[in-house]
Amino acid sequence: MRAVVTVVGKDKTGIISKVSTFLAEREVNILDISQTIMQDYFAMIMMVDISKATKKLSELAEECKVMGEKIGMSIHLQHEDIFNAMHSV
């Protein structure tokens, strides 16, 4: 099963490292990643495979939210189908 992780916030050192380590510890595999810096703001989107994850999607989503708060970022994880439905016209 695939999901989408979005990370947004003020740019700082170590964001990619912290988020990727967090996901790896939960057996979430990053399939694709895109990130950019817009002025002082960091934005990243990742396609991930959660089929071997140690937690359910809802638990992972909540843990991502908490992780984001700890590092001063907004981190959201949602099922790929929901992400696609929200971003299609």
Q: Quick: pLDDT tens for 9-25.
A: 999 999 999 999 999 99
**Overall number of domains in the chain:** 1
Residues 6+ apart with CB under 8 A from 47: 2, 3, 4, 30, 31, 32, 33, 80
In terms of residue numbers, what domain contains 76? 2-86
Q: Quick: pLDDT tens for 51-60.
A: 999 999 999 9
Q: What is the pTM of this model?
A: 0.90
CATH of the domain at 79: 3.30.70.260
